[in-house]
């Protein structure tokens, strides 16, 4: 079967402003690439169309034309909440051109909402919640829909929800993602600026799931379990990216890279014994990284560690990220830097219960940590997150799926008088971090290390200057 897998663009920036998201950080759609590799191993012909890719056209009709050039029998869309409606618009256009083409949707939005999407969106033939590799392959193989575990489908006017599919027990049985199907990979799939020294860069995941239950996190796809690739598999994956594509830096996007300490220690040993000439970044959680492991990560080529902190207000942490305490955060940041690693703090503004005072506490805490980098997301309530159950009691919600991308405030907590106030506070405190003299001194000491980022920024200077103005506080 001929299959096109599509990553819809969606809305990835701020309404009324030029979308700079892909220019600043273009990430390979790893879930689609994993499914593509699995389908090809089963004997199908697969194309991947990334609507955020460096060679993708703009607009629904132009992207549909590219998709249809591949003469598909089946088109699969992997969509976030903000990208779902763009995907559906493409599905409608595809059906108009060739009604016999089957359309299937998967991804976190589908996994959270399930069969009710078929009631509203008539041009979708199938939904594939959860992990898609096996379910989509069985559909492409021609099995009857009623026999495919995990599939949601139409039987005439009736919507049928088949029993859920169990998670893949052995992630090492998966082929490496089909990176080669991305036009411009890896050089035009750029990592966040100043997060790397060596180039080109790429992304990978080495585990699925997380045992924690933070209020804001949608676990609809992988749930609370934790499965992972073995050290040998991860090393072979890294080696493949190095030799096949010349990748020199990896951002590992596991939710919790170091949860299984023995696994990471084994991987570090391999990277020390058989160096690949690569660096990598990863994410950890307070309580899951000791001094010895930090030294091992440094020796293995780790450059920067991201730490999910979310808030500098202890009361908010107790509700939304239980088990994480500010004194432990401060100690962990210090230990990471003492091991010779950079540390990036991940924060979130606008959580239920947020106040102007709690935002100030977070801003002060951010400055006190002496971070090497920081990311402040705009809290977005997603359907599959625990917080969704009570979100309408906690403030006002604008349930516009296109805006639900962590770059727009669609929720305003009760104690904040307006979205405009939230935006002003956000811009003020983001600018405060990057204007901090201590941070600027740290940045300047590394200027030459970041010559790849500086050259990239220079080539796209007008766009970056435009984006920077987004964070200018408005009176």
For every residue of 117-136, DSSP letters joined together read HHHH-TT--EEE-S--HHHH
State yes or no: pLDDT of 15 exceeds 90: no
The residue-averaged pLDDT of 150-168 equals: 95
Identify which of 93, 97, 104 has the alpha carbon closest to the alpha carbon of residue 71: 97
Percent of the chain, pLDDT > 70? Answer: 95
pLDDT of residue 13 exceeding 80 = no
Mean of the pLDDT values across residues 177-193? 94
Confidence band of 312 (pLDDT split at 50, 70, 90):
very high
Please state the pTM of the whole predicted model.
0.94
Return residue ranges of the chain for CATH 3.40.50.280. Answer: 2-161
Q: Average pLDDT, stretch 186-215?
A: 94
Name the DSSP letter for residue 217: -
Give Cβ neighbours of residue 167 (< 8 Å, ≥ 6 apart): 130, 131, 208, 209, 222, 223, 225, 227
**What DSSP letter does each residue of 346-397 carry, written as one string?**
EEEES-TT--HHHHHHHHHHHHHHT-SEEEEEEP---TTSGGGGGHHHHEEE
pLDDT at residue 317 in the model: 97
Q: Which CATH class is domain 2-161?
A: alpha beta
Q: Which of 159-173, 211-225, 275-289 has the lowest mean pLDDT?
A: 211-225
The answer on pLDDT for 196 being more than 70 is yes
CATH 3.80.30.20 domain span(s) along the chain? 191-471
Q: Who wins on pLDDT, 132 or 13?
A: 132
Does the pLDDT of residue 225 top 70, yes or no? yes
Spell 409-431 as b/e; 16+ CB within 10 A means b. Answer: bbbbbeebeebeebbebbbbbbe
Burial class (CB in 10 A: 0-12, 13-18, 19+), 291: exposed
Does residue 58 or residue 354 have the better pLDDT? Answer: 354
Mean pLDDT of the chain: 94
Helix, strand or coil, per DSSP, at residue 110: helix
Q: Which residue has the higher pLDDT, 425 or 11?
A: 425
pLDDT, mean of residues 334-354: 98
- The average pLDDT across 341-362 equals 98
Taking CB atoms within 8 Å and a gap of at least 24, the contacts of 432-437 are 432/363, 432/367, 433/363, 433/366, 433/367, 433/371, 433/374, 433/376, 436/367
Please compute the mean of the pLDDT values over residues 98-117 and round it to a whole number: 96
The whole-number average pLDDT for the span 298-322 is: 97
Answer yes or no: is pLDDT of 164 > 70: yes
CA atoms of 316 and 318, how far apart (whole Å): 5
Task: Reply yes or no: is the peptide bond before residue 186 cis, omega within 30 of 0.
Answer: yes
Q: Among residues 145, 151, 147, 84, which one has the least CA distance to residue 120? A: 84
pLDDT of the residue at 25: 84
pLDDT at 474 over 60: no
16 pLDDT band (50/70/90 cuts)? low
Average pLDDT of span 346-358: 98
Give the per-residue pLDDT at 344.
Answer: 98
What average pLDDT score do residues 332-359 get? 98
Mean pLDDT on 122-137: 97
Q: What is the pLDDT of residue 471?
A: 56
CA 18 to chain centre: 21
Q: Which of 211, 119, 131, 113 is nearest to 167 (CA)?
A: 131
* Residue 21: predicted pLDDT: 67
What's the average model confidence in pLDDT over 122-131? Answer: 96
468 confidence band (pLDDT: 50, 70, 90): low
Q: Residue 315 in contact with residue 326, Cβ under 8 Å? A: no
438 dihedral zone (left: phi>0; alpha: psi -120 to 50; beta):
alpha
Instruction: Please report the pLDDT score of residue 470 as a whole number.
Output: 62
The candidate with the shortest Cα–Cα distance to 65, out of 6, 123, 13, 18, is 6
Q: Is the pLDDT of residue 475 over 60?
A: no
pLDDT at res. 244: 98
Asked whether the bond before 200 is cis by omega within 30 degrees of 0, the reply is yes
The correct answer on CATH 3.80.30.20 for the domain covering 191-471 is: yes
Q: Of 11-25, 48-62, 235-249, 436-450, which gets the smallest average pLDDT? A: 11-25
| pLDDT band (50, 70, 90) for residue 401 | very high
Q: How long is the chain?
A: 475
Quick one: pLDDT band at residue 29, thresholds 50, 70, 90?
A: very high
Q: What pLDDT shows up at residue 24?
A: 75
User: What are the Cα distances from residue 399, in Å, to 123, 380, 409?
Assistant: 22, 10, 11
Inter-axis angle of helices 356-369 and 326-338, nearest 10: 20
| Helices 419-435, 356-369: inter-axial angle, 10-degree rounding | 20
Q: With bands split at pLDDT 50, 70 and 90, how would you rate the model's confidence at 19?
A: low
**Residue 221: its pLDDT value, please?**
83
């Amino acid at each position: 079967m001929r299959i096109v897998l599509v990553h819809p663009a969606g809305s990835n920036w701020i309404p009324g402003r030029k979308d700079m998201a892909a220019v600043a950080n273009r990430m390979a759609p790893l879930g689609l690439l994993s499914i593509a590799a699995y389908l090809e191993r089963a004997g199908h012909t697969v194309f991947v169309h990334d609507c955020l890719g460096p060679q993708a056209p703009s607009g629904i009709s132009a992207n549909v034309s590219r998709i249809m050039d591949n003469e598909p029998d089946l088109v699969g869309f992997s969509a976030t909440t903000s990208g779902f409606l763009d995907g559906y618009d493409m599905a409608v256009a595809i059906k108009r051109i060739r009604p016999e083409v089957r359309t299937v949707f998967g991804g976190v939005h589908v996994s959270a909402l399930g069969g009710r999407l078929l009631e509203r969106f008539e041009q979708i033939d199938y939904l594939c919640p959860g992990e898609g590799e096996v379910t989509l392959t069985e559909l492409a193989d021609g099995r009857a829909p009623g026999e495919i575990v995990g599939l949601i489908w139409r039987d005439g006017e009736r919507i049928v929800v088949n029993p859920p599919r169990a998670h893949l027990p052995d992630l090492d049985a998966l082929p490496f993602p089909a990176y080669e199907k991305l036009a411009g990979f890896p050089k035009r799939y750029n990592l966040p600026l100043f997060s790397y020294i060596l180039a080109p860069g790429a992304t990978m995941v080495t585990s699925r799931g997380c045992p924690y239950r933070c209020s804001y996190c949608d676990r609809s796809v992988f749930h609370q379990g934790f499965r992972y690739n073995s050290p040998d598999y991860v090393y072979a994956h890294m080696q493949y990216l190095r030799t096949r594509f010349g990748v020199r830096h990896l951002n590992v996007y596991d939710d919790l890279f170091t949860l299984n300490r023995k696994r990471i220690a084994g991987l570090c040993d391999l990277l020390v014994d058989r160096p690949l000439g690569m660096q990598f970044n990863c994410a950890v959680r307070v309580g899951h990284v000791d001094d010895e492991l930090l030294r091992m990560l440094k020796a293995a080529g780790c450059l920067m560690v991201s730490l999910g902190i979310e808030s500098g207000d202890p009361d908010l942490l107790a509700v939304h990220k239980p088990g994480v305490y500010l004194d432990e955060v401060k100690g962990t940041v210090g230990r990471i830097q003492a091991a010779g690693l950079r540390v990036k703090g991940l924060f979130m503004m606008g959580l239920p219960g947020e106040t102007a005072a709690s935002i100030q506490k977070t801003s002060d805490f951010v400055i006190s940590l002496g971070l090497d980098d920081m990311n402040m997301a705009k809290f977005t309530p997603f359907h599959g997150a625990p917080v969704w159950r009570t979100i309408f009691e906690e403030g006002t919600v604008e349930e516009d799926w296109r805006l639900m991308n962590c770059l727009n405030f669609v929720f305003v907590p009760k104690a904040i008088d307006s979205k405009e106030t939230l935006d002003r506070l956000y811009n003020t405190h983001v600018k405060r971090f990057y204007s901090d003299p201590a941070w600027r001194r740290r940045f300047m000491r590394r200027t030459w290390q970041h010559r790849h980022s500086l050259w990239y920024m220079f080539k796209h200077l007008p766009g970056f200057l435009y984006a920077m103005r987004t964070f200018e506080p408005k009176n």
